[in-house]
Structure formats: structure tokens, C-alpha cells
């Protein structure tokens, strides 16, 4: 990952997003869990929005 985290909050968000990606990849071959994959993707998107907001705040400091 090319982005260098600037705070513990950013590092936590990056770790959470990476873990979700890993979970989604692990579940990729399991049948009949599309509903779970959709929930994980939505959580990932929400974390990503929070992370983008944190980056903006930290760049202003």
C-alpha cells in the first residue's frame, strides 16, 4: 500500500479494510453467501469513506 498512515485512526482503518478484503477473498469460493459478501462490501465502503475523511482532516493540520 502506497499511502503512509498519519495517525493511529488511519492505521486502524487501513488494517480493518485490509482484514475485510482478506475475509472477502477467503469467502469467495463458498456458495450461497452472496448476502454476506454484500454486507462486507458495504462495511468496506463505509470504512473507506471514514478513512478519506480522516485523511482530509489530517492534511489540514
CB 16 within 8 A of CB 47: yes
pLDDT of residue 6: 76
pLDDT confidence of residue 30: 95
Residues of the chain with pLDDT under 50: 1-2
How distant, in Å, are the alpha carbons of 24, 32, 55, 58, 59 from that of 21?
Answer: 5, 19, 20, 25, 26
Res 4: pLDDT? 57
pLDDT value of residue 2: 45
pTM reported for the whole predicted model? 0.83
Estimate to the nearest angstrom the gap between the alpha carbon of 2 and the chain centroid: 15
Round the average pLDDT of the chain to a whole number and report it. 90
Amino acid at each position: 500500500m502506497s499511502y503512509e498512515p498519519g495517525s493511529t485512526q488511519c492505521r486502524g482503518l487501513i488494517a480493518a479494510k485490509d482484514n475485510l478484503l482478506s475475509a472477502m477473498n477467503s469467502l469467495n469460493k463458498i456458495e450461497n453467501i452472496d448476502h454476506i459478501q454484500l454486507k462486507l462490501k458495504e462495511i468496506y465502503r463505509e470504512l473507506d469513506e471514514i478513512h478519506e475523511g480522516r485523511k482530509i482532516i489530517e492534511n489540514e493540520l
